[in-house]
Chains A and B, each alone.
Chain A
Amino acid sequence: MVKVTYRQPDGSEQTLEGKPGDSVMQLAIGAGVPGIVAECGGSMACATCHVYVDDAWTGKTDTRSESEEDMLDCAMAEMKDSSRLSCQLRLTEALDGLVVHIPEEQF
């Protein structure tokens, strides 16, 4: 199992365990994590599952595709180097302990 911590803008956090292959979005939706809206269900069409990957994990996740970057550029909260669409971020054993920050707004 892979642990992921979701940190809210107010500092509160929730740690969940998922299996490799699941997306960071799916894991959050299953547990009702506030702020991961994911209205399009993972089609890169809504940009409402935007997260910032914690600095400690920089370089450890896979890289963003061009279409993911295009969509992040459309998101409500500012796109940063650490921005990901959590529907595109897949859990692997190497990501055990991942921390992601949820932005202030998604739509």
Chain B
Amino acid sequence: MTGKETTMTLIEGHAPLTPDASIPVLDVDPYDETVLADPFSWYAALREAGPVAFIPRYNVLAVGRYEETRQTFSDHENFVSSRGIGFNDFKLEKPWRPPSIILEADPPDHTKTRRVMSKALSPKVVRTLMDDFRAAAEEVVDALLERSEVEGVVEIAEAFPTRVFPRAVGMRDVNPRHLVDYGAIVFNAVGPDNALRRAAMARAPEVAAWINAACARDRLTDDGLGALVYGAADEGEITPDEAAMLVRSFLSAGVDTTVTGIGNALWCFSQNPDQWEALKADPSLARPAFEEVLRITSPVHTFLRTANLDTEIAGHPVPESAKVLCVLGAANMDPEKWGDPEAFRIDRRPVGHMAFGAGIHGCVGQNIARGELEALLSVMAEKVDRIEPAGPARWRPNNAIRALDRLPLKLIPN
């Protein structure tokens, strides 16, 4: 590090940026809690501003049109992840936890860890988990069908993944609250230094300590996904410490995300009864329906990248160390790409949506997420005639994930 860098005054943990004069300025606060709860006009404003915009409040660039978002997000050579996928530049400021060796890493380090995780989460492995996913979905749904009203977030969206996922990983210690909250903490940490991030950081020591302890080899069974990762350490592909870090990645990225995906799916269907009818009529649409839920609700709404050298976006110069907000939620609602983005159509088959990211950092757990959702949605399509709102849904503001806080529902059985 040079003397200049050590004395530099950082803005939101990154180097100050003077944007090129050709880049439009968008004076908005995407992290205002009302915007986080209802981000669609911010998404539209960002796409409208241009292929790339400058957000003065956080001193960052932002992309939200489909093509530029996909391009920037997946260009791992110019826009790296190792300098953090939030506002902090790990080159200039110490991260709050040891960086993820897959999410916050670049090739060639990333290539090695990604391979281990791809194998542990492959379609073949997920296939072996499907019976358990279906059985658990039946248990969760059957228990609710006798009730007049259910709270969709706690009783379905959280109940299902916290039952099946720790079992899939092979965890001996299960604390559903810590599992869900750890993900929310990690995602809030991606944001600027606001109230959400500070509240997350206040809870982080307790929850992270529990998570780290639960990732130890002796706290895992020898037949789960965790054992597959430790097996890669036995083979010499990674070190035992790296194996523990990758098991931690299962827990940061694999619970709260799926909880959010399920909650958002139930919300979509409760708002679009004709689409529930369509799913009941053809339960094989469960998988494509989940893709459409992901496209239209974008559970992970925003991750950042860092320019690792002087580069450009859509012809506009971007200097080294610039942070770029990649607004996945905006790309997923770009009318140029999707035609009628606001319509929730379970037969759309939105191949290329950005909800799982794209490129070498595309979500490595997407196959297991699809397996969980396929199991739950197909069981519900068999047993539930109608899903109706039983009161207003409430969104829970988070700096990187758009999740429901409350979802009162009536499930009317067949």
Instruction: Please list the residues of chain A having a beta carbon within 8 angstroms of any beta carbon in chain B.
Output: 29, 32, 38-48, 67, 70-71, 73-76, 106-107
Q: Is the CB of B363 within 8 A of A70?
A: no
Question: From B358, which residue of chain A is reached at the shortest CB distance?
Answer: A43
Q: Is the CB of B122 within 8 A of A47?
A: yes
Q: Is the CB of B364 within 8 A of A45?
A: yes
Q: Is the CB of A39 within 8 A of B370?
A: yes
Q: Is the CB of A67 within 8 A of B111?
A: yes
| Listed residue (A44, A45, A46, A75) with the most chain B CB atoms within 10 angstroms of its CB | A45
Question: From B125, which residue of chain A is reached at the shortest CB distance?
Answer: A74
Question: From B353, which residue of chain A is reached at the shortest CB distance?
Answer: A41
Instruction: Please list the residues of chain B having a beta carbon within 8 angstroms of any beta carbon in chain A.
Output: 74, 111, 114-115, 118-119, 122-127, 287, 291, 349, 351-353, 356-360, 362-364, 366-367, 370
Question: From A48, which residue of chain B is reached at the shortest CB distance?
Answer: B123
CB contacts (< 8 Å) of B370 on chain A: these are 39, 107
Option from A32, A67, A70, A74 in Cβ contact (under 8 Å) with B124: A74
27 contacts between A and B (CB under 8 A): A32-B349, A38-B351, A39-B287, A39-B291, A39-B367, A40-B366, A41-B352, A41-B358, A43-B74, A43-B357, A43-B358, A43-B359, A45-B118, A45-B356, A45-B363, A46-B123, A46-B367, A47-B122, A47-B123, A67-B115, A70-B115, A70-B118, A73-B119, A76-B124, A106-B123, A107-B126, A107-B370
CB contacts (< 8 Å) of A29 on chain B: these are 349, 351
Q: Is the CB of A43 within 8 A of B123?
A: no
Given contacts A73-B119, A74-B119, A74-B123, whether A39 and B351 have CB atoms under 8 Å apart is yes
Q: Is the CB of B123 within 8 A of A107?
A: yes
Distance, CA A41 to CA B350, complexed state (A): 9
Distance, CA A67 to CA B356, complexed state (A): 18
Q: Is the CB of A45 within 8 A of B119?
A: no
Distance, CA A43 to CA B287, complexed state (A): 18
CB contacts (< 8 Å) of B125 on chain A: these are 74
Question: From B371, which residue of chain A is reached at the shortest CB distance?
Answer: A107
Option from B115, B118, B123, B363 in Cβ contact (under 8 Å) with A76: B123
CB contacts (< 8 Å) of A44 on chain B: these are 360, 362
CB contacts (< 8 Å) of B126 on chain A: these are 107
Q: Is the CB of B123 within 8 A of A70?
A: no
CB contacts (< 8 Å) of B356 on chain A: these are 40, 43, 45
Question: From B111, which residue of chain A is reached at the shortest CB distance?
Answer: A67
Q: Is the CB of B352 within 8 A of A42?
A: yes
Closest CB in chain B relative to A62 CB, distance in Å: 19
| Listed residue (A46, A70, A75) with the most chain B CB atoms within 10 angstroms of its CB | A46
Question: From B130, which residue of chain A is reached at the shortest CB distance?
Answer: A107
Q: Is the CB of B366 within 8 A of A45?
A: yes
Distance, CA A19 to CA B139, complexed state (A): 50
Q: A43-B358, A106-B123 are in contact. List 6 more A-B contacts (CB 8 A).
A: A38-B351, A39-B351, A42-B358, A70-B119, A76-B124, A107-B123
Question: From A28, which residue of chain B is reached at the shortest CB distance?
Answer: B351
Question: From A75, which residue of chain B is reached at the shortest CB distance?
Answer: B123
Distance, CA A43 to CA B364, complexed state (A): 10
Closest CB in chain A relative to B330 CB, distance in Å: 17
CB contacts (< 8 Å) of B123 on chain A: these are 46-48, 74-76, 106-107
